[in-house]
Amino acid sequence: MTIVSIKIGTTGELRRVELSDGSFFSFKTCYLPPIFTNESLLTPGMAEGRELDAGEEEGFRFASACLRAEKAALRLIARAEQSVFGLSRKLERRGCTPACTRAVISRLIDLELLDDRRFARLWLETRLLRPASPRRLFGGLRARGIDHDDAESALKAVLDDETEQALLARFAAKQRRSRAFRNAETKAAEYRWGFDALRTLKFLLKSEGFSTGAIQRYFGELDEAP
C-alpha cells in the first residue's frame, strides 16, 4: 500500500491522505500513534509514493476514526456541558472504540472543552430550585462519574448558607406533604407538630446531609410561626 497524495488543511494540523487502494483518510496529526516520527510520511511532495507498512496504515485509520469521534463529541458539547464519564459512554454508543474515545477525551480535556468540575457546578445549579438534598445531589454527581473530591468541592461551592437554607425548606416542605407526615389537622398543628413527627423530620434532614445550623434555623422559624 502506497501514499498517492497528502494534503494539509488550513489549520496545519489537519491532513487528508489518499492511498493506492483508493481509500481516503482525513485526520489530525495529534491522533497519530508514536510510530509516526518520520515527517516524510506527512509532508506533501515527500510522502507521495511512500510504501506503508501495516502499522502505519492502521495508524492512519485510527487517527481518522478519532477525528470522526471528535466531531461527534463537539456536537454533543455544543448542546450541553458534558462530563468525562457521560461523554465517553455516548461516544462508545456511537461505535467509537475505547482507545479512540480515550484519545479524544484526553484532547478535549487539554483544550478545556471538557471539565468535570465545571460540569458538576453547572449540574448542581440547575437542580437547586428542586426539593433535593445535599446527599441526593452528591449521589447524582457520583452517578454521572464525577470524582468524590470534585463532587464534594462543587457542593461546597454552590451551597452557601442562604442557598442551603432555601434547599432545606423546599425539601422539608415536600416531606411534610408526604404520607409519612400528613397528620396535621389544623393550621396551627401544621406548624407545631407532635414530638415524634418533629424528631423524625430532624433525623431525616440530618441523614440527607443538611448542616446542623441549617436544620436549627429551619425549626427555629417553625417555632416562631403563628
Average pLDDT, rounded, for the chain: 86
List beta partners, residue 14. Answer: 28
Q: What is the pTM of this model?
A: 0.79
Helix/strand/coil for 104? helix
Q: Could you tell me the pLDDT band of residue 196, with boundaries at 50, 70 and 90?
A: low
For helices 212-224 and 195-207, give the axis angle rounded to 10 degrees: 150
**Contact, 148 vs 142, CB < 8 A?**
yes
**Contact, 123 vs 140, CB < 8 A?**
yes
**Contact, 191 vs 216, CB < 8 A?**
no
Measured distance CA(194)–CA(116) in Å, rounded: 44
pLDDT at 46 over 60: yes
**Between the CA atoms of 217, 219, 223 and 226, what dihedral angle is there, to the nearest 10 degrees?**
90
pLDDT at 223 over 60: no
- Neighbouring CB atoms inside 10 A of 34's CB total 6
pLDDT at 226 over 50: no
SS3 of 109-134: HHCCCCCHHHHHHHHHHCCCCCCCCH
Q: Could you tell me the pLDDT band of residue 179, with boundaries at 50, 70 and 90?
A: low
- Neighbouring CB atoms inside 10 A of 139's CB total 14
Instruction: Give which of 30, 225, 210, 207 is closest to 108, Cα–Cα.
Output: 30
Any idea what the Cα angle at residue 215 is, between residues 225 and 174, rounded to 5°?
70
